[in-house]
Amino acid sequence: MSAVVVDASALAAIAFGEPAGATVAARLEGATVFAPALLKYELANTAWKKARRDALNAPGIVKALALAIGPRCDINWRDVDAADVVLIAVATGLTAYDASYLWLAASLGADLVTMDQRLAQVADEI
């Protein structure tokens, strides 16, 4: 079974029914999925933005969020080393948030699943 680290862009595609959701779900199928605890807050922020734009569907958006990161999700939550994350961010020009996903993937020897083009590019380069 392969190990993958999922970022907020990829999980949002699944949770909120975005066009790339099926592709991301297929990539996670059968894998052991890991994520930094930060993912919960990034996904909550995405839900907040969606709910502000579409207030009538806010309850459904919040429900999708709860399903994606709630106790029944199959994500293995991990802490990251903040000092190492800063070093990665400085070296790559990424935000510390994105560097957290890179650090976790590297520390686990796992692939990174992301819809973020820049993050994917940096992950491929290192």
Helix (H) or strand (E) holding 57: none
CATH number at 113 reads 3.40.50.1010
In a domain, 89, yes or no: yes
In a domain, 126, yes or no: no
In a domain, 98, yes or no: yes
Question: What value does the CA radius of gyration of the chain take, rounded to a whole number of Å?
Answer: 14
In a domain, 21, yes or no: yes
In a domain, 104, yes or no: yes
In a domain, 54, yes or no: yes
pLDDT of residue 4: 98
Helix (H) or strand (E) holding 35: strand 32-36
Q: Name the domain count of the chain.
A: 1
- Digit-by-digit pLDDT tens for the chain (126 residues) are 799 999 999 999 999 999 999 999 999 999 999 999 999 999 999 999 999 999 999 999 999 999 999 988 999 999 999 999 999 999 999 999 999 999 999 999 999 999 999 999 999 998
| Adjacency order of strands within the sheet including 32-36 | 75-78, 32-36, 3-6, 111-113
What pTM was estimated for this model as a whole?
Answer: 0.93
